[in-house]
Structure 1
Amino acid sequence: MGTVNDDEGLGYGSSLPVPSVQEMVKNDAQTIPINYIKNIEDRPKSCEICPISDRIPIIDLSLLTLGDEDERTKLDVACQEWGFFQVINHGANEALPKIKAAVEKFFDLPLLEKKKYAMAANDIQGYGQGYVVSEDQKLDWNDLLFLMTLPHNFRNMKYWPIPVPDFKEVLEEYAAELERVTNEIFINLSILMGLENDFLKKLHGDVKQGIRMNYYPKCARPDLVLGVSPHSDCSSITLLLQDDYITALQIKHKGLWVPVKPLPNAILVNIGDVMEAWSNGKYKSIEHRAITNEEKPRISIAAFVIPGNEVELNPIKTMVDDRPRIYKNDVKYIDYLRYTLAKKMEGRLANIEQLKIEP
């Protein structure tokens, strides 16, 4: 089984090293360093919160697999109006607690042990924090471990933590389950877009899966910081495993932030920038963020599904037959990915506008 060379990065980008937030809180749980305190306009505010999280669409994957037309229509509406949906009856229930436990064990390791898996200067894989491009930017209240999981030849095993028992086996099982769920979603989106069942999977070319494991320490002043700054995902779709008991993810819907209340054993799926461009704006890549809390730390696990480097983000022909083309024809995925990773998270429009035709 081939893997990338230990000395090679992915060629996607890099992130500057910063101190561990988890360790910082262990040493002093009350002080919030100035470089984590967001500007006033960027802080989470109660007046901007809309408590309608129960309206986040729920999609039954078992019904989609059976070709249920009503469920497929629900998927279509979810992708157009929300860009997010909770997937139930996905068949991966046994893998969920195992991956959560493995990730928790990694972040429970001593700092010196975790640092053995630190991101290299030329890579985004490994332990650290993402989207740090300047020494004076405001930082997010999280630590992460990012690993490429599929295909196998994109893995760099020097970042896979050996001290965590069965980590490799558990992550491989989880990655395979998500690949199955992803393929079923692609089949149904292909049909909804007037295409052959396997169109979206083939369109990805050398489809890849990267998994970001996040640790959000508790925070004495959650009103001053963000776990993750507002952004949209530069994936085609993202599959997120939330903490079952802590509501932290918020999505931008009709100008307000909507908390996404976790649904136990559900996998939360969102549309990424790539799918928005391919669908010519029919399906929406939605801005989202994560807040913190004073009570306890939180773990989440996000799997990004991304196309091959040379795949173009052109709108699909069936998506321009009856609607004006608003996305460009000449953007390769690798160029868009490098563009997004070279910047700090600055909301959705900062990236997605690069894909649109200038008015």
Structure 2
Amino acid sequence: MIGNRITSRMVDGVRVPGTWRHAFIRNGDYFLTDLFIYADGLIDCWGLVTLEEFERKLRSGWVATELPDGARVSAHDLAVWKFSEPHSWHTPELLLAEVRDTIDQLNGRPDSTDRCLAAVDVFLAERTEENRAAARAAYYAIPETQRHYALGDMDRKDEPLLVLVTGPGGELESLPGETVDQEEYDEAVVYFEERARWLAERPARVPADGPATPMAPAIHLPQSYPLKPSDDPGEQALRNDYPAPVRVDGDTYPSVAHAYWALSTADPVARAAARDADTAFAARNTAVGAPRREGWEQARTAVMTALLRAKFTQHPALARVLLDTADATLVYDDDSGHWGDNGGRGRNWTGRLLELVRSELHAEQAGITPSV
């Protein structure tokens, strides 16, 4: 189960997605570490190995699933301790099966749970004992540690699934001596019929206040150095250095970038020089050498918000460019890790604020901006 544990590695300029999980390595003592599992089938457990090599490490106990009482164990730079009455949830077979499932998930392929549920659908469509046997085999092919999650139902867990594939009169392997009676079986059939209806309806369901993620592809706003306005600037007009004069506090600045850098400095001379600079780059260089205003670091995001609002309020044609980006994520290039995406390492505040102003423009058009 990948969850939110997302990582990647770069191979020849290509990003290979991955995830990670905790594990113990036995190298003399035992070491708590992370296994990194990648979509191309390589696993990093103190070095990249193939799935076959990983299996050998499991079988040899180097990747440990047996934890002996009293064994010394450590987590690098964190702690050292000894096992006391340890209990592991895994065997080499179980951990290997989970890793295989993870690689399938990373590649968008059906994993053992998906294959089981597909076999169940076949059985429900044609309820022969042959199809039930296939569904039962697929159920037991799911790693035992993952069967509880197969239906995504934390109340019933996998009980309806186990009852269905066992069948009336069949003995439950997890509960020796107990058999499935007809009433339990009928309840399991009803459960799956209701589940099928719910799954059929789910794609049509729309969140009450709209989708949680953007529908439009992300838009990249690369660095540019426009020196004059254009009749058709396109998305370049969304850049802070695009020459669109903004008037704030009684002064007019050639661009948002000019205004930002001018307002950042406490020196009136430097502020005027930044305002009057030939380019946004020159305005920045002028301001950088001057003292910052007190509290600027904490206030700068609010200042930029006000400047972007001024730009798109005072230039309706540019507001239309912004509105035409629909609900796309706006990825803004900038040398600053605060304002730009910076190759995925920055905070992308300019892109985020552009999206905020875009939403405000939509609200104004729709006449639903609340009064405060």
- Bin of the TM-score, shorter chain as denominator length: under 0.3
Report 1 or 2 for greater relative contact order, CA contacts < 8 Å, sequence distance ≥ 6.
Answer: 1
Return the structure number with greater helix share. 2
Larger radius of gyration: 2
